[in-house]
Amino acid sequence: MENVFKYYQFSDFLTDVSGTFSSHEICFSELNETHFLIFEKTENSYNLYVSKYKSKKEIGKNSPEILEVLVENYDKSIPEHRMALKQYFAE
């Protein structure tokens, strides 16, 4: 997963204190000023979300305006999971 995080320029992991992600660690990649992809790290898997915040400073601190699960239990070896992530970075 480290390669995925680096390739798509995800942030370092931080602990969610907003309660949105059950205090799990999360990392994010910026799509634009208000929309972000977020990986939530649970005990044995990663969940991928698309979200909307007023700014990236709110991520992990406040609840998002919009949050949608894209992939539960993300597995980079599954083509559909890779495509769910890649579609947001297509030129």
Q: Which two tokens stand for residue 29?
A: 């990649």
Chain segment 19-46, per-residue pLDDT in tens: 999 999 999 999 999 999 999 999 999 9
Query: What is the token pair recorded at 2?
Result: 């480290």
The model's pTM? 0.94
Domain assignment present for residue 91? The answer is no
Q: How many independent structural domains does the chain possess?
A: 1
Structural domain contains residue 69: yes
Cα separation, 65 vs 46, whole angstroms: 21
Domain range for 7? 2-86
What's the pLDDT at 90? 72
Say if residue 48's pLDDT is above 70. Answer: yes
What's the pLDDT band for 89 if we cut at 50, 70, 90?
Answer: confident
DSSP-derived 3-state class of residue 46: strand
- Cα separation, 27 vs 80, in Å, equals 21
CA distance 4 to 88: 14
Residue 76 lies in a domain: yes
Closest residue by Cα to residue 9 from 23, 24, 29, 26: 29
